[in-house]
Structure 1
Amino acid sequence: MSNGVPSNGVRSISDDQRRARAGRRHLLAPSRRVARVEQVADALVGLHATDAATVYLSACARLAEPSAAEVERALYEDVSLVKLLSMRRTIFAVTEEFAPYVSSAAARAIAVKERATLLKHLREFAEGWDEPRLAETERAVLAALAVRGEATTSELAVDVPALRETMLMSQGKPYEARQSVGSRLLRLLASDGHVRRCRPRGSWLSSSYPWAPVPQWPDVPVREAKAEVVRRWLAAYGPATVEDVKWWTGWTLGDVRKALADVGAVDVVLSGGAAGLVLPGDTEPVEEPEPWAALLPALDPTMMGWRGRDWYLRPQDVPALFDRAGNAGPTLWWCGRVVGGWAQRPDGELVWRLFTDVGVEGRSAIEAEAARLSLWLGEVRVTPRIRTPLERELVA
Structure 2
Amino acid sequence: MRHVPDAERRARLAVRHGLHPAHRLPDPVAVTRAMTVLHATEPSTVHLSVQARADGVTAAAVDAALYDSRAVVKQLAMRRTLFVFSRDLLPAAWGSASARVAEQERRKIAANVVAAGLAGDGEAWLEEAREEVFAVLGDSDGLSAADIREAVPMLDVKVGTSSTSKWGAPIPIAPRVLNWLGARADIVRGANTGHWRISRPAWARMKHWLGEPAVPLPEAEGYAGLARRWLWTFGPGTEADLVWWLGATKGAVRRALADVGAVQVSLDTGGVGWLLADDLEPVADPGRWAALLPVLDPTTMGWRGRGFHLDADDTPHLYDTNGNGGTTAWLDGRIVGAWVQDEVGTVRTLLRRPVDPEGQALLDAEAARLTAWLDGVRITNVYASLLMKSARLP
Work out whether the TM-score is over 0.5.
yes
> Are the aligned partners of 1:74 and 1:80 in contact in 2 as well (CA < 8 Å)?
yes
- Do structure 1's residue 142 and structure 2's residue 134 form an aligned pair? yes
User: Residue 262 of structure 2: which of 258, 265, 270 is its match?
Assistant: 265
CA distance in structure 1 between the partners assigned to 2:391 and 2:31 by the alignment: 29
CA-atom RMSD, angstroms?
Answer: 1.8
Q: What per-residue deviation string (whole Å, max 9, x for no partner) do you get for residues 144-178 of structure 1?
A: 10154310111122321112112245799743333
CA distance in structure 2 between the partners assigned to 1:171 and 1:272 by the alignment: 37
Q: What per-residue deviation string (whole Å, max 9, x for no partner) do you get for residues 33-89 of structure 1?
A: 112111111111100111111111111100121321111011111111111221122
- Do structure 1's residue 287 and structure 2's residue 284 form an aligned pair? yes
> Are the aligned partners of 2:110 and 2:125 in contact in 1 as well (CA < 8 Å)?
no
Q: CA 1:282 to 1:116, structure 2 compared with 1: closer, same or farther past 3 Å?
A: same
CA distance in structure 2 between the partners assigned to 1:351 and 1:239 by the alignment: 32
Larger deviation, residues 303-312 vs 174-183 = 174-183
User: Residue 3 of structure 2: which of 12, 17, 36 is its match?
Assistant: 12
CA distance in structure 2 between the partners assigned to 1:141 and 1:261 by the alignment: 40
User: Following TM superposition, by how much is the alpha carbon of 1:202 offset from its aligned partner in structure 2, in angstroms?
Assistant: 2.0
Match of 1:3 in 2: none
CA distance in structure 2 between the partners assigned to 1:131 and 1:281 by the alignment: 46
Q: CA 1:201 to 1:219, structure 2 compared with 1: closer, same or farther past 3 Å?
A: closer
> Are the aligned partners of 2:13 and 2:333 in contact in 1 as well (CA < 8 Å)?
yes
**SS of the residue 2:93 aligns to:** helix
Residue-pair matches, total: 387
User: Following TM superposition, by how much is the alpha carbon of 1:341 offset from its aligned partner in structure 2, in angstroms?
Assistant: 1.1
Match of 2:88 in 1: 97
User: Residue 241 of structure 2: which of 241, 244, 247 is its match?
Assistant: 244
Larger deviation, residues 340-349 vs 184-193 = 340-349
CA distance in structure 2 between the partners assigned to 1:118 and 1:309 by the alignment: 35
Match of 2:64 in 1: 73
Q: CA 1:329 to 1:132, structure 2 compared with 1: closer, same or farther past 3 Å?
A: same
> Are the aligned partners of 1:48 and 1:93 in contact in 2 as well (CA < 8 Å)?
yes
Match of 1:35 in 2: 26
CA distance in structure 2 between the partners assigned to 1:89 and 1:112 by the alignment: 11
> Are the aligned partners of 1:170 and 1:176 in contact in 2 as well (CA < 8 Å)?
no
**SS of the residue 2:88 aligns to:** coil
**SS of the residue 2:285 aligns to:** coil
> Are the aligned partners of 1:14 and 1:270 in contact in 2 as well (CA < 8 Å)?
yes
**SS of the residue 2:265 aligns to:** strand
Q: What per-residue deviation string (whole Å, max 9, x for no partner) do you get for residues 336-366 of structure 1?
A: 0001111123431222222233211111111
**SS of the residue 2:264 aligns to:** strand
1:1-396 counterparts in 2 under 5 A? 10-125=1-116, 127-128=118-119, 130-146=122-138, 148-169=140-161, 174-215=166-207, 216-394=213-391
CA distance in structure 1 between the partners assigned to 2:340 and 2:165 by the alignment: 34
> Are the aligned partners of 2:89 and 2:225 in contact in 1 as well (CA < 8 Å)?
no
**SS of the residue 1:210 aligns to:** strand
> Are the aligned partners of 2:10 and 2:334 in contact in 1 as well (CA < 8 Å)?
yes
- Give the TM-score taking structure 1 as reference length: 0.93
> Are the aligned partners of 2:266 and 2:273 in contact in 1 as well (CA < 8 Å)?
yes
Q: CA 1:157 to 1:25, structure 2 compared with 1: closer, same or farther past 3 Å?
A: same
CA distance in structure 2 between the partners assigned to 1:187 and 1:155 by the alignment: 16
User: Following TM superposition, by how much is the alpha carbon of 1:263 offset from its aligned partner in structure 2, in angstroms?
Assistant: 1.0
CA distance in structure 1 between the partners assigned to 2:134 and 2:165 by the alignment: 35
Q: CA 1:254 to 1:171, structure 2 compared with 1: closer, same or farther past 3 Å?
A: closer
Larger deviation, residues 374-383 vs 39-48 = 374-383
CA distance in structure 2 between the partners assigned to 1:227 and 1:342 by the alignment: 36
Q: CA 1:39 to 1:326, structure 2 compared with 1: closer, same or farther past 3 Å?
A: same
**SS of the residue 2:345 aligns to:** coil
Among all aligned residue pairs of Structure 1 and Structure 2, give the percentage whose two residues are the same amino acid. 38
CA distance in structure 2 between the partners assigned to 1:172 and 1:317 by the alignment: 32
> Gaps spanning 5+ residues in structure 1: where?
1-9
> Are the aligned partners of 2:96 and 2:219 in contact in 1 as well (CA < 8 Å)?
yes
> Are the aligned partners of 1:293 and 1:365 in contact in 2 as well (CA < 8 Å)?
yes
Q: CA 1:251 to 1:33, structure 2 compared with 1: closer, same or farther past 3 Å?
A: same
User: Following TM superposition, by how much is the alpha carbon of 1:187 offset from its aligned partner in structure 2, in angstroms?
Assistant: 1.1
Q: CA 1:11 to 1:136, structure 2 compared with 1: closer, same or farther past 3 Å?
A: same
> Are the aligned partners of 2:327 and 2:384 in contact in 1 as well (CA < 8 Å)?
no
**SS of the residue 2:150 aligns to:** helix
- Give the TM-score taking structure 2 as reference length: 0.94
CA distance in structure 2 between the partners assigned to 1:339 and 1:23 by the alignment: 15
> Are the aligned partners of 1:169 and 1:177 in contact in 2 as well (CA < 8 Å)?
no
Larger deviation, residues 292-301 vs 210-219 = 210-219
CA distance in structure 1 between the partners assigned to 2:69 and 2:301 by the alignment: 27
Q: Which amino acid aligns with 1:176?
A: G
